[in-house]
Amino acid sequence: MASDDILIRVEDLVMHFPILAGVLRRKVADVKAVDGISFYVKRGETLGLVGESGCGKTTTGRCVLGLYDITGGKVFFEGTDITKVTGKGRRALRRNMQLVFQDPYASLDPRMTAGDIIGEPMLVHQVAAGNAYREQLAELFTMVGLEPRMSIRYPHEFSGGQRQRIGIARALAVRPKFIVCDEPVSALDVSIQAQVIMLLMKLRQELGLTYLFVAHDLSVVRFISDRVAVMYLGKMAEITRSDELYDNPLHPYTQALLSAVPIPDPVVDRQRKRILLYGDVPSPVNPPSGCHFNPRCRMAIDICKEQEPELRDVGGEHWVACHRV
């Protein structure tokens, strides 16, 4: 694949958070939130990132944006390693990379009006001022389906769906190329989720955006994503096209996840085979040796406990980290 087609490339990303204890606050261990993952995001596509709570999805998204000083690895944006960029260069990069937060109730400053919240990035990055600022502000409100006259209202005067639209407009204010959507619909009602998803898809098409869509709802991910990456305990388990993942899941963990997705047809739902995972997710402080999934895997053999599987292409850009595939 040509390098020009790839907007984001992540190589061996590691993010460990220290655990401090004692009066002197000495480090006694690390939480291995992300433990050596690699993937890429093509220009104009949506890459869905799924997995159980605590698997490292949100941490991955924030590392890609440069919000954490990563423990190891590299993150490239348009060929530039952002982990080595500092000062004004980092600020210029952040104009092209934005974040839509998970909780529309906690991510908006209650003391600021909606207009000030959406307009603040334009002032910080000196995108517009005066009449141009007011015109672009009104355009952003209209773009996300809100009335410009709502700009004088405070967050508590909006519904949850409207607050998330404000969060999306804030991310769009500096005309970014790449947006990390961190579970943007998980805190919303189902009917509102559909509206926000359709809005995100419409904006991607109109503005040529690229998304990293973090979620745990596999039905939502299938609808919005071009490709899907599955994470488990800080590791990448499988990456492939959305239709391929749902029609032909290869990793045992992916198969178990998909078997738990509800099907509206009760006849079909009764006929399918459920895959139950026994035991709890191991601690990221002390993950299992070899494949992290091996204690819960029905297909595990001796090599799974001893050697970490490599994420490899098994054909057609279908990447799997499993010794048994």
What string of DSSP letters covers 107-124? SS-TTS-HHHHHHHHHHH
User: Which residue from 209, 313, 255, 287 is spatially nearest to 14, judged by alpha carbons?
Assistant: 287
Task: Decide if 240 is inside a domain.
Answer: yes
Whole-angstrom distance, CA of residue 305 vs CA of residue 308: 8
Task: Decide if 254 is inside a domain.
Answer: yes
Whole-angstrom distance, CA of residue 99 vs CA of residue 64: 11
The domain in which residue 247 lies consists of 3-96+176-320
Taking only the tens place, the pLDDT of each residue in 207-248 is 999 999 999 888 889 999 999 999 999 999 999 999 999 999
According to the model, what pLDDT value does residue 2 have? Answer: 56
Number of domains in the chain: 1
Whole-angstrom distance, CA of residue 69 vs CA of residue 250: 33
Task: Decide if 262 is inside a domain.
Answer: yes
Taking only the tens place, the pLDDT of each residue in 115-144 is 999 999 999 988 888 899 999 999 999 999
Complete edge-to-edge strand list for the sheet that includes strand 312-313: 97-100, 178-182, 210-214, 46-50, 227-232, 235-241, 319-320, 312-313
Task: Decide if 152 is inside a domain.
Answer: no
Residue 181 to residues 100, 246, 288, Cα–Cα distance (Å):
5, 21, 30
Per-residue burial over 228-258, b if 16 or more Cβ lie within 10 Å, else e, is bbbbbbbbbbbbbbbebbbeebbbbbbbbbb
User: Which residue from 175, 69, 178 is spatially nearest to 126, judged by alpha carbons?
Assistant: 175
Q: 127 vs 289, which has greater pLDDT?
A: 289
Whole-angstrom distance, CA of residue 260 vs CA of residue 50: 14
CATH value at residue 19 = 3.40.50.300
Task: Decide if 105 is inside a domain.
Answer: no
Task: Decide if 138 is inside a domain.
Answer: no
Task: Decide if 250 is inside a domain.
Answer: yes
Taking only the tens place, the pLDDT of each residue in 50-104 is 998 889 999 999 999 999 999 999 999 999 999 888 877 888 888 899 999 988 8
Task: Decide if 154 is inside a domain.
Answer: no
| Residues in Cβ contact with 145 at an 8 Å cutoff, skipping those fewer than 6 apart | 165, 195, 199
According to the model, what pLDDT value does residue 275 have? Answer: 82
Whole-angstrom distance, CA of residue 117 vs CA of residue 45: 27
Taking only the tens place, the pLDDT of each residue in 31-56 is 999 999 999 999 999 999 999 888 99
H-assigned helices in 125-241: 130-143, 160-172, 190-207, 218-224
